[in-house]
Amino acid sequence: MPDTHLVTGGAGFVGSHLVLALVARGDRVVVLDDLSTGHAAAVPASTELISGRIGDADALAHAFALGPFASVFHFAALSLVGESMREPYRYMAENARNGLALIEATIAHGVKRLVLSSTAALFGAPSTIPIPEEEPVDPGSPYGESKAWLERALVWAERVHGLRSAALRYFNAAGADPGGRLGEDHRPETHLIPLVLDAASGRRPPLTVFGDDYPTPDGTCIRDYIHVADLAEAHLLALEALNERSVRYNLGNGTGYSVRQVIATAERVTGRAVPHTIGPRRAGDPPVLVASSRRIREELGWTPRYPALETIIADAWAWRQAHPEGYR
C-alpha cells in the first residue's frame, strides 16, 4: 500500500527531485513550501502543494491535517553560507526555530520517521579528508551551526519521544534530473556549476572565483559534487533504515574537484569558454570539503549512478539549454 509523506521545501532543487522519486514509486506526497526559493512548476501535478512557511502555525497545521504521514522530509531552510556570515543570528534563529516547530508537530501527530537535509558545513576545518561521520562537528558558518543544532534536537526527540531520524550531510548537490524533468533554478543563483554554465552561455557576466590562494594544488577551493538524482536515492534508502534505527550519513562521491577543474570540465562538456575573474576569498569557505560515504555504502548499499563530474555537468547543461529561463 502506498505511503503518504510530508516534504517541506519540496519545491526546491533537492526537495523536488526527492518528491519526483517518491511519486515515481507510487507514494502520495504533500509539499509545504513558501516558494521563496522553490518553484511551483517543479512540483508534480499529482502532488498537493501548500504555499506557506513551516514557521507559520496555521500552514503547518494545514499540512499535517492532510496526513496521516508515514514520514516527514525536511528541506526548507535558509541555506547560503556567505549570507549566514553577514546575518548570523537570523540564520541560527530562523532555521532552529522553524525546524523545532516541525519536529514538535511531527511528534504531536504521531509520525515516527523524519529525514533531515543537513550539510557538509558542519565541518568547518576537518582534520580528515575524505570526511567520515566520526569527524568532530565544528561548523565554519552560522548556517552550519543551525543544522548542527537541529541534528542535536533530533537526538533528544528520539530519546524522549521515540522519533527516529536520518541526518543526511550533503556536500555539493548538482546536476539535474537525467530525464530532463527538473533542474536547478535559484534566484539569486549561488551554486558554482550553474554559474559556470551561465557564464559559458553568456547569460551572466564572467564568473568570479573566490580566491586562488588556498592551500590546494591550484589555489582554488576543492569540493565534492554529488548528482541530485543520487541524493534522492540516498533519501529513499535512509527512510527504509529508519524502520530499525536512526542514522547519520555524509553524502558525496568521495572525489574532490577544484573550482578550476570544474571550469575546465564545463568547457569540455559545453564546447565553450567560461570567462572568469579572480576575486577575494569568501568568508566561511574551507579550502577542502570531500566526503567519505563509506558508511552509507556499506550499511545501505548506496552506490551513486552518476558519479562522473562530466555527467553531472552534462545533465545540468542539458536542462539549462532546454529551460533558459528556468521554471518561468
Q: Which residues are known catalytic residues? A: 143
Q: Which three cell numbers stand for residue 283?
A: 568568508
Q: Is 94 exposed, middle or buried (0-12, 13-18, 19+ CB in 10 A)?
A: middle
| Torsion angle in degrees (nearest 10) through CA of 137, 139, 145, 151 | -20
Angle at 194 between CA 207 and CA 39, to 5 degrees: 130
Q: Is the Cβ–Cβ distance between 33 and 76 less than 8 Å?
A: yes
Q: Which residues contact 28 (CB under 8 A, 6 or more apart)?
A: 2, 3, 4, 5
CA 4 distance to own-chain centroid: 22
Non-local (6+) Cβ contacts of 216 within 8 A are: 222, 258, 287, 288
How many C-beta neighbours within 10 Å does residue 140 have?
A: 21
Please, what's the largest Cα pairwise distance for the chain? 56
